[in-house]
């Protein structure tokens, strides 16, 4: 799929292992079967790159793709991807024409969108009716489902392709709230069936539900985070052991010096060295998605196969690492997320230090960081 990785234009890069994406899709397909897997590639594939991830996921048997925005669907189409694409939220009215042109499937939950999309579509546009069963983000109230489904059916330019809902606490399998959401969803499906409305696609599960809630799987699962090899949350970690992280964040040491005991470092001089030490500088900072506070919250970097603390606040373009008395030279590879030798730092570790979730970590790796695609980590080191 990709040849040997080209040297990136700057010595800091995110390496994406497309073989890991394929592996994770295969793991999810086994876990979700007989339900199919649609890969969620919104937010530029959770920071991994939507187009290469989409291709790898489809090659591995994903039957469709999900995105958040109409423009994200258009990017996939421009890249020549012809798989089914579902836009997960109602587009704003000025994008009704765009979603039709992108030949994407639309999620709807209001009369306004149903009527507007019906007016914009020439050949039948496939729509999925979204029901809010308790997440309370977007979706129609369960009581409105039949009325909205009938409204869709009455429009010759629309085809009701699916009914869906979204789960709020699927990553906490013991929480009975998921069961209550699915009960509400099943009640809606029954009510539609009683009206003779049986859309071909029914779906509710995100990654966590795909792994942890058998009854949430229905026709297909909308798997995002697990496709990238990241555990959706601690509560389903025991179900995610086969997943392989696809992304690593790497940089080459740009500068090395000795700093004396008693000296302080970086803006605000917040860190004081208690002994003479070797400090390596990495050409990566908060503008690249390494949060400024990662040092204060115990963040570590791998250099020479060992964990080493980030010292001083992370600056916009650079950060510093305490290497003790070890020999470190400019050009040495440092790993911020990923493995080196026997050690590994995961996006989940960053998330725990930063009081967030791994999703925010990988989505936060900015566009300034080149993405380098490899097919299997193996010998792809440069
Ligand atoms: C983002 C999203 C998903 C994917 O969730 P993961 O936890 O990443 O698997 C599924 N469905 C909807 C509606 C989403 O917005």
Q: Residue 1: its pLDDT value, please?
A: 42
CA–CA separation, 374 and 114 (whole Å)? 42
88 Cα nearest atom in ligand 1: 13
CA–centroid distance, residue 269 to ligand 1 (Å): 41
Q: Which of 335, 334, 362 is nearest to 348 (CA)?
A: 362
Q: Which of 194, 195, 189, 243 is nearest to 215 (CA)?
A: 189
The Cβ of residue 40 has, within 10 Å, a number of other Cβ atoms equal to: 29
Q: Which of 141, 47, 134 is nearest to 364 (CA)?
A: 47
CA–centroid distance, residue 224 to ligand 1 (Å): 6
Q: Which of 83, 84, 122, 125 is nearest to 108 (CA)?
A: 125
Widest CA span in the chain: 78
Q: Residue 186: its pLDDT value, please?
A: 98
Q: Which of 1, 8, 60, 17 is nearest to 373 (CA)?
A: 17
b/e per residue 286-319 (b: at least 16 CB within 10 A): bebbbbeebbeeebbbbbbeeebebbbbbbeebb
CA–centroid distance, residue 5 to ligand 1 (Å): 30
CA–centroid distance, residue 340 to ligand 1 (Å): 30
CA–CA separation, 305 and 301 (whole Å)? 10
CATH architecture of the domain with range 247-381: Beta Barrel (2.40)
CA–CA separation, 94 and 266 (whole Å)? 47
Is 267 an active-site residue?
A: yes
Q: Residue 377: its pLDDT value, please?
A: 66
Instruction: Identify the active-site residue in 42, 218, 228, 286.
Output: 42
For ligand 1, pick from 88, 133, 134 the residue to mutate: most ligand atoms within 8 Å of CB: 88
CA torsion, points 229, 234, 239, 244, in degrees to nearest 10? 20
CA–centroid distance, residue 358 to ligand 1 (Å): 13
Give every CB contact of residue 262 below 8 A, 6+ residues apart in sequence: 272, 273
Question: Is it true that the peptide bond before 34 is cis, omega within 30 degrees of 0?
Answer: yes
166 Cα nearest atom in ligand 1: 13
For ligand 1, pick from 21, 89, 224 the residue to mutate: most ligand atoms within 8 Å of CB: 224
210 Cα nearest atom in ligand 1: 9
Question: How do the domains of the chain map onto residue ranges?
Answer: 34-228, 247-381
Q: Which of 249, 280, 283 is nearest to 265 (CA)?
A: 280
Task: Please check whether the domain covering 34-228 is classified as CATH 3.40.50.970.
Answer: no
Which amino acids bring their CB within 6 angstroms of ligand 1?
Answer: 40, 42, 88, 166, 206-208, 222-226, 232
CA–centroid distance, residue 4 to ligand 1 (Å): 32
CA–centroid distance, residue 372 to ligand 1 (Å): 25
Give every CB contact of residue 142 below 8 A, 6+ residues apart in sequence: 131, 132, 133, 184, 185, 187, 188
pTM: 0.96
Q: Residue 376: its pLDDT value, please?
A: 86
Q: What is the mean pLDDT of each run of 10 residues along the chain (382 residues)?
A: 62 98 98 98 98 98 98 98 98 98 98 98 97 98 98 98 98 96 98 98 98 96 98 92 97 98 98 98 98 97 98 98 98 98 97 97 98 77 40
42 Cα nearest atom in ligand 1: 1
**pLDDT tens digit string along 159-210?**
999 999 999 999 999 999 999 999 999 999 999 999 999 999 999 999 999 9
The residue contributing the CA closest to ligand 1 atom 4 is 224
For ligand 1, pick from 31, 105, 216, 222 the residue to mutate: most ligand atoms within 8 Å of CB: 222
Handedness of CA 48, 54, 60, 65 (dihedral sign): positive
Instruction: Identify the active-site residue in 46, 177, 257, 267.
Output: 267
Residue 121, token pair as written in the block: 């579509």
Q: Residue 380: its pLDDT value, please?
A: 44
232 Cα nearest atom in ligand 1: 7
For ligand 1, pick from 206, 207, 231 the residue to mutate: most ligand atoms within 8 Å of CB: 206
């Amino acid at each position: 799929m990709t040849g040997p990785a080209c040297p990136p234009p700057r010595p800091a890069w995110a390496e994406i292992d497309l073989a890991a994406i394929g592996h994770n899709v295969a793991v999810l397909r086994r876990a979700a079967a007989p339900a199919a897997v649609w890969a969620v590639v919104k937010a530029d594939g959770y920071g991994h790159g939507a187009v290469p991830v989409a291709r790898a996921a489809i090659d591995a048997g994903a039957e469709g793709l999900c995105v958040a925005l109409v423009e994200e669907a258009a990017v996939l189409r421009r890249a020549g991807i012809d798989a089914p694409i579902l836009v997960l939220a109602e587009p704003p009215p000025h994008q009704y024409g765009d979603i039709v042109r992108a030949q994407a499937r639309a999620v709807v939950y209001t009369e306004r969108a149903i009527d507007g999309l019906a007016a914009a579509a020439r050949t039948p546009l496939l729509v999925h009716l979204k029901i809010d069963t308790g997440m309370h983000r977007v979706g129609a109230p369960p009581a409105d489902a039949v009325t909205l489904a009938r409204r869709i059916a009455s429009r010759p330019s629309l085809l009701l392709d699916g009914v869906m809902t979204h789960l709020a606490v699927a990553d906490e399998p013991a929480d009975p709230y998921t069961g209550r959401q699915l009960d509400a969803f099943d009640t809606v499906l029954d009510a539609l069936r009683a009206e003779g409305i049986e859309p071909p696609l029914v779906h509710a599960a995100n990654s966590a539900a795909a792994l942890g809630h058998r009854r949430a799987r229905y026709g297909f699962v909308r798997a995002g985070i697990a496709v990238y090899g990241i555990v959706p949350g601690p509560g389903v970690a025991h179900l995610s052991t086969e997943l392989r992280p696809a992304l690593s964040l790497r940089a080459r040491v740009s500068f090395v010096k000795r700093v004396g005991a008693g000296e302080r470092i970086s803006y605000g001089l917040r860190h004081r060295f208690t002994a003479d030490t070797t400090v390596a500088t990495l050409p990566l900072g908060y503008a690249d998605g390494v949060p400024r506070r990662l040092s204060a919250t115990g963040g570590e970097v791998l250099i020479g196969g060992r964990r080493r603390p980030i010292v001083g606040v992370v600056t916009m373009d650079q950060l510093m690492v305490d290497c003790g008395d070890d020999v470190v030279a400019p050009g040495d590879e440092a790993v911020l997320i990923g493995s080196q030798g026997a050690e590994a730092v995961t996006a989940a570790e960053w998330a725990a230090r930063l009081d967030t979730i791994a999703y925010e970590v990988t989505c936060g790796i900015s566009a300034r960081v080149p993405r380098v695609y490899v097919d299997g980590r193996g010998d792809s080191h440069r």
